[in-house]
Structure 1
Amino acid sequence: MGELARPRTSGLSSIIKAYDVRGVVPDEWDEHVARRIGAAFAEFVHAESGATAVVTAHDMRDSSVPLSRAFAEGVLSRGVDVVEAGLGSTDLLYFAAGSLDVPGAMFTASHNPAQYNGIKLCRAGAAPIGQDSGLVTIREWAEHDSYERVPTRTASIGQRDLLAEYAAHLRGLVDLSGIRPLRVVVDAGNGMGGHTVPVVLAGLPLDVVPMYFELDGSFPHHEANPLDPANLVDLQEAMRRERADIGLAFDGDADRVFVVDENGDPVSPSAITALVAVRELAKGRGTTVIHNLITSRAVPEIVREHGGEPVRTRVGHSFIKAEMARTDAVFGGEHSAHYYFRDFWRADTGMLAAMHVLAALGEQSRPLSELTAAYSRYAASGEINSTVADATGRTAAVRELFEGEGGTVDELDGLTVELADGSWFNLRASNTEPLLRLNVEAPDAARMVALRDRILEVVRA
């Protein structure tokens, strides 16, 4: 790429988001930018904790290897060693940062389309780095690319394959060896689940039907974003065709998992949160469970019924992980199908969540739809996005309407309103787009639809 076409590091604020680095390659960032971010990251973790090594991993996108290698060059330039874990899921990178006790960098754009790439950064022990906990400093240092410290050591780079160790660690947390045989359809979406699932689930009483396990960063079959119902259609059809017991869909970097029952119906992430929470509470090694404010009200109800203490947080992994550390929570779940485990360095792992669901299903005889029905108590809209020119004004209009009708309001994260009939909704502005995100829940479907449509009428006026 010519010098004049090179992305400007002075514009790093456009690609360094609230939780990670994310942007179009090469238009918004390239190897030159990655090298400078690598140097800034190495300097940051060395200044903060004296770190002398970092571990990297990357997904299957065409740009991931050159970007990760350029990042490594930047790290080495600051006298900090690099351990390359190679191909991996994001939770494999968290395993590496946790088990090796070094800071880490994962090269992935998760569920974003092929032209994107990004970096998820963490401290040693997989502790998060977000906008309020280091990303701003890393961005500023990368922009200036000037450091007072003179490295006193010559750094080195090496490779380490951690996939087998990662699989063994997960299998040590959830024992699937004694469950009844299950037929499992897995849609990896041409993402990193196709790399990790065969190793983690090998030799277990599972008849795995693979879908799109070929690693392909162009995503030829569908986007690796199971949050969009359109991307579950192939899995749902396969479930009916294969007469399988359960379906699993991973996103591009396999840190999230979505579950489909034997009828091809999606199981809400809130129900999975409640199910896994009950299993973690049953171990008797802690009582606190974290849930973000958009998960179903069934989650805190069920946690309390099983002797736990639910703690409500803002949306986003840095908030979840901070609350888990503060409260020593055993587990945390989000509406977006991110699941966090104290036994996994408080990091999110779709694979471990999937294993818990497989264990819960295989340890009893009922079908998945019956098993999860107990954790699904209310009617939910799912997340509905509306493009708006004035998010603040539209939110204020919704607040005024429902406050006038006696709704209870809180602003922990966006606008949450609880109504007298047990219904509630949350309206949040996107951090990166001119969108308002609406989630509605009610005691039954009719009330949910009526409330949803009434709010959207104001939002989209």
Structure 2
Amino acid sequence: MTLELPETIFRTYDVRGVVGEGFDVPQVEAIGRALGSEARERGATRIALGRDGRLSGPRLMDAMAAGLQATGLEVLDLGCVPTPVLYFAAHTRTDGNGVMVTGSHNPPDYNGLKMMVGGETLSGDAITGLRRRFRENRLTSGRGGRRDVAVSEEYLQRIVSDISLRRRLKVVVDCGNGAAGVLAPELLRRLGCEVVELFCEVDGRFPNHHPDPSQPENLADLARTVARSGAHVGFAFDGDGDRLGVVTPEGKPVWPDRLMILFARDVLSRRPGAKIIYDVKCSGRLGDAVRAAGGTPEMWLTGHSLLKARLKATAAPLAGEMSGHFFFAERWYGFDDALYAAARLAEILTADIRSPSEVFAALPDAINTPELRVEMAEGEPQCFMEALSARTGMFAGAQLTTIDGVRADFADGWGLVRCSNTTPSLVLRFEADDASGLHRIQARFRQVMQDVQPGIELPF
């Protein structure tokens, strides 16, 4: 009987599922066969393989290695590392071929796969194509090897050679018991920081808090520790170290779209006129700041693989998204790397004569909401958005962006509704100059959404 690969585990940005529920050793080995065959057809001979600290990681990593080796690929085993180290190894050792076994910021019972072939981070059709390839038995056969390769020291040295801090910072590092704990504190110490560690022991049960810095409740321990210890800044990493959260000396979160303003100004000081890319969930203040700094802002689709592809296609030096993925192609490789982003932020803070508190306080801000979700059944969000797209005339007076959902920008703020690419839900976000503007924009969206689906329950 042929193994069935559940369609539900093949997502827009990666492969992901609950371990033991259609996603386990047999499925991962099969995907390894398909991925290895794809890589071999593109001329690959070797591939880097890493994992995060989840309890299921070792056995799923072995399964992936077996699948890849069965196609004739040589597997470079990196062990337990943050995802950026896997990307680094793929760029420097394997011509852009790599697989990371990681559940990212998901609960402990999840795991997944982030995949690169020939420098391309697979997404969309490239991911679902692996399922088709396996089902159609278009598989390459061979006898590949597997060997341990240590690249973490080279990775650390490369960052330290690029970053220069002008004064000593005291930082708190919260790794949420994720894979960033193996390197993030060491990196910051080598850069000259005084480091206070918080939950840096790798533990796939995540016993202290969920490793997702985009949610305010997961920053609470970091905020208290920063404020209590008198640190200059706090850094939080997600489960596999490719997303960054930041808190001020006062313990207040600095959301990624505001961090992008600092990063963009810094990059544009050396690359005047360059394009800066960000996703549709980011603040309108970001585009204004990019223009004011002499750059060209471009709004793009949400998703780390989609932003990476756009960065590469446009040769832009910087991209970022609201979830905390930052992509530096200026001085770095263009992949999302929270450790490197933290180092770049430390460099910016120490190059400024103002205190970190003053730097963060001076960033343009607005009244905004976090991501709001409307849960639906499978398939419903897409149908809803099709119907809503036919009613965009109800957003009269707004500048519409429809590359990823519907975003309506008014003179004093904006609103967004789009399909989540990870769960069957709608994602909404709102921003305005003041509370009355926020309420007015939300009322407009409420009217349009209730016209599409009368009785829909909205979280605003």
TM-score normalised according to structure 2 size: 0.91
Range moving further from structure 2, 251-260 or 26-35: 26-35
Alpha-carbon separation, structure 1, partners of 2:190 and 2:74: 36
Range moving further from structure 2, 397-406 or 346-355: 397-406
Cα drift, residue 446 of structure 1: 4.2
Report the CA distance shift for 1:430/1:229 in structure 2 as closer, same or farther (over 3 A): same
Cα deviation, 1:3-44, whole Å, max 9, x if unaligned, reads 9xxxx8424321111111100111221111111111111110
Alpha-carbon separation, structure 2, partners of 1:95 and 1:185: 25
Is it true that 1:158 corresponds to 2:147 in the alignment? yes
| 5+ residue gaps, structure 1 | none
| 2:453 match | none
Cα deviation, 1:23-68, whole Å, max 9, x if unaligned, reads 01112211111111111111101112x1011110011111111111
Alpha-carbon separation, structure 1, partners of 2:434 and 2:37: 54
Cα drift, residue 404 of structure 1: 5.8
2:232 counterpart letter in structure 1: D
Alpha-carbon separation, structure 2, partners of 1:367 and 1:434: 43
Alignment match of 2:421 (pick from 417, 427, 431): 431
| 2:255 match | 268
1:175 counterpart letter in structure 2: S
Cα deviation, 1:279-303, whole Å, max 9, x if unaligned, reads 1122238712111122112222222
Map 1:299-448 onto structure 2 (within 5 A): 299-342=286-329, 343-388=331-376, 390-391=380-381, 392-393=383-384, 396=387, 400=391, 403=394, 405-419=396-410, 421-448=411-438
| 2:58 match | 65
Alpha-carbon separation, structure 2, partners of 1:102 and 1:155: 18
**2:5 and 2:27 in contact (8 A); partners too:** no
Alignment match of 1:30 (pick from 21, 24, 39): 24
Alignment match of 1:42 (pick from 28, 36, 40): 36
Cα drift, residue 453 of structure 1: 6.1
**2:180 and 2:237 in contact (8 A); partners too:** yes
Alignment match of 2:44 (pick from 51, 54, 61): 51
| 2:161 match | 172
Cα deviation, 1:392-433, whole Å, max 9, x if unaligned, reads 4488569848726533333111011122x3211110122343
Q: 3-state DSSP class of the match of 2:75?
A: strand
Alignment match of 1:204 (pick from 172, 191, 214): 191
2:394 counterpart letter in structure 1: E
1:51 counterpart letter in structure 2: A
Alpha-carbon separation, structure 2, partners of 1:341 and 1:170: 12
| 1:241 match | 228
Cα deviation, 1:81-133, whole Å, max 9, x if unaligned, reads 100011111111110101112410001000001100001001234x211123x
1:139 counterpart letter in structure 2: R
Cα drift, residue 169 of structure 1: 1.5
**2:257 and 2:283 in contact (8 A); partners too:** yes
Is it true that 1:223 corresponds to 2:217 in the alignment? no
Alpha-carbon separation, structure 1, partners of 2:387 and 2:96: 45
**1:285 and 1:330 in contact (8 A); partners too:** no
Is it true that 1:77 corresponds to 2:64 in the alignment? no
Alpha-carbon separation, structure 2, partners of 1:244 and 1:225: 21
Alpha-carbon separation, structure 2, partners of 1:36 and 1:137: 13
Report the CA distance shift for 1:388/1:276 in structure 2 as closer, same or farther (over 3 A): same
Q: 3-state DSSP class of the match of 1:111?
A: coil
**1:36 and 1:145 in contact (8 A); partners too:** no
Cα drift, residue 180 of structure 1: 1.8
Alpha-carbon separation, structure 2, partners of 1:432 and 1:91: 21
Alpha-carbon separation, structure 1, partners of 2:398 and 2:387: 14
The count of residues paired between Structure 1 and Structure 2 equals 446
| 1:135 match | 127
| 2:457 match | 460
1:142 counterpart letter in structure 2: F
Alpha-carbon separation, structure 1, partners of 2:281 and 2:96: 33
Q: 3-state DSSP class of the match of 1:225?
A: coil
**1:286 and 1:329 in contact (8 A); partners too:** no
Alpha-carbon separation, structure 2, partners of 1:84 and 1:442: 48
| 1:188 match | 175
Q: What's the C-alpha RMSD, in Å, of the aligned pairs? A: 2.3
Is it true that 1:293 corresponds to 2:284 in the alignment? no
Report the CA distance shift for 1:229/1:94 in structure 2 as closer, same or farther (over 3 A): same
Alpha-carbon separation, structure 1, partners of 2:206 and 2:46: 33
| 5+ residue gaps, structure 2 | 451-455
Q: 3-state DSSP class of the match of 1:438?
A: strand
Range moving further from structure 2, 346-355 or 392-401: 392-401
Report the CA distance shift for 1:173/1:402 in structure 2 as closer, same or farther (over 3 A): farther
Range moving further from structure 2, 55-64 or 437-446: 437-446
Alpha-carbon separation, structure 2, partners of 1:68 and 1:38: 10
Alpha-carbon separation, structure 1, partners of 2:268 and 2:298: 14
**2:46 and 2:73 in contact (8 A); partners too:** yes
Cα drift, residue 168 of structure 1: 1.3
Report the CA distance shift for 1:201/1:410 in structure 2 as closer, same or farther (over 3 A): closer
Alpha-carbon separation, structure 2, partners of 1:393 and 1:371: 42
2:405 counterpart letter in structure 1: G
Report the CA distance shift for 1:404/1:207 in structure 2 as closer, same or farther (over 3 A): closer
**1:191 and 1:224 in contact (8 A); partners too:** yes
TM-score normalised according to structure 1 size: 0.91
